[in-house]
């Protein structure tokens, strides 16, 4: 049985394929409100006190498509017709 990510959770793993300094130190995936995301994480060090932390980036696994006629309505303008 394949692994199924629980909603509103994710996992990060050490990136053993990192080739360049700007590549993420960690990669993984998450599911938020039913949407699957790729996760990337970079280890950072605070200059002031040497404290380590992780910066994260999320990218949808499948780009959301907006179909004609389904875009969110504009607000604040007057309809003239």
> What averages of pLDDT result for each successive group of 10 residues across the chain (81 residues)?
87 97 97 95 96 97 68 52 47
Site of tokens 């949407």 = 35
Output the pLDDT for position 75.
52
Output the pLDDT for position 33.
94
- Name the region of 47 (left: φ>0; alpha: ψ -120 to 50; beta: rest): alpha
What is the rounded CA–CA span in Å between residue 74 and residue 36?
Answer: 27
Output the pLDDT for position 3.
78
> Rounded to two decimals, what is the model's pTM?
0.70
Output the pLDDT for position 69.
62
28 near 12, Cβ under 8 Å? yes
Output the pLDDT for position 2.
76
């Amino acid at each position: 049985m394949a692994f199924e990510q629980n909603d509103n959770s994710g996992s990060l793993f050490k990136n053993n394929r990192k080739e360049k300094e700007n590549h993420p130190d960690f990669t993984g995936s998450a599911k938020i409100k039913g949407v699957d995301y790729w996760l990337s994480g970079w280890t950072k060090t605070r200059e002031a006190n040497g404290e380590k932390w992780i910066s994260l980036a999320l990218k949808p696994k499948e780009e959301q498509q907006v179909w004609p006629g389904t875009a969110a309505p504009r607000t604040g303008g007057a309809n003239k017709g």
